[in-house]
């Protein structure tokens, strides 16, 4: 979330320079557009994934507050946790938090957002979703036999991509 917001802020700054450059900034604008693909969607999915469900804060409010955070507050993990509805007094490094799976499911092609929401509601978290069988997925309203196989295959591909990315970073 922190990285996505910082990239978004840098993009706004770069866009100002592109306007000043006029036609000379065309190549930079194309590179910026390529860099920003999916950043705002990823940021929104991250907020959905980690926002405390029983908190008073709504998704729209949390996203709006994230955008309005001062630069120093954006670098403070405790402030980000507070923004998502977690207690500020908790040690953020000792408190386990796991994603619901909205961001990962959002990367699976042809999977409607309504179905994603139903799957997340049914399974509760990413770990449970990854452990789910095709039969368990089929129970969810809007998921049939073919869609369940597509979801399992999409999750498997995302795991492979993640492993390759980690391998390349070392």
- Model pLDDT, residue 50: 87
Do 8 and 61 fall within a single domain?
yes
Same domain, 11 and 72: yes
Distance of CA 19 to the CA centre of its chain: 30
Which domain range does residue 116 map to? 102-169
Total count of domains within the chain: 2
Q: Which residues in the chain show pLDDT less than 70?
A: 55, 92-93, 169-170
Same domain as 76, residue 109: no
96 domain-assigned: no
In this structure, the answer to whether residues 20 and 74 fall within a common structural domain is: yes
* Residue 94 located in a structural domain: no
Residue 130 and residue 165 in one domain:
yes
Q: Assign 23 to helix, strand or coil.
A: helix
In the listed set 83, 114, 142, which residue is the last one of a domain according to the structure? 83
89 assigned to some structural domain: no
In a domain, 95, yes or no: no
> Per the domain annotation, does 110 fall within a domain?
yes
Residue 21 lies in a domain: yes
Same domain? For 77 and 132 the reply is no
Q: 28 and 63 in one domain?
A: yes
The answer to whether 137 touches 152, Cβ cutoff 8 Å, is yes
Together in a domain, 6 and 79: yes
- If asked whether residues 56 and 116 sit together in one domain, one would say no
Domain boundary among the residues 55, 83, 111 is at: 83
CA distance 147 to 138: 8
Residue 143 lies in a domain: yes
C-alpha 35/C-alpha 39 separation (Å) is 8
pLDDT for position 170: 62
Q: What is the pLDDT of residue 16?
A: 92
Tell me whether residue 45 is in a domain.
yes
What pLDDT is recorded for position 92?
Answer: 61
pTM for this predicted structure: 0.72
- Output Rg (C-alpha) for the chain, integer angstroms: 19
> Is the same domain home to 68 and 9?
yes
State the pLDDT at residue 69: 92
């Amino acid at each position: 979330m922190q990285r996505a917001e910082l990239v978004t802020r840098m993009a706004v700054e770069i866009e100002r320079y592109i306007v000043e450059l006029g036609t000379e900034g065309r190549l930079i604008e194309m590179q910026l557009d390529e860099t920003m693909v999916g950043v705002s969607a990823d940021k929104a999915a991250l907020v959905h994934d980690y926002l405390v469900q029983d908190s008073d804060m709504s998704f729209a409010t949390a996203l709006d507050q994230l955008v309005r955070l001062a630069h120093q507050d954006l670098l403070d993990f405790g402030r980000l946790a507070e923004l998502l509805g977690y207690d500020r007094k908790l040690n953020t490094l000792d408190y386990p938090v796991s994603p619901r799976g909205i961001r990962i499911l959002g990367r699976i092609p042809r999977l409607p957002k309504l179905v994603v929401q139903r799957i997340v509601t049914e399974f509760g978290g990413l770990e449970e979703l990854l452990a789910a069988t095709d039969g368990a997925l089929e129970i969810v309203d809007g998921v049939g036999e073919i869609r369940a196989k597509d979801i399992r295959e999409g999750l498997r591909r995302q795991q492979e991509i993640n492993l390759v990315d980690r391998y390349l970073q070392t």
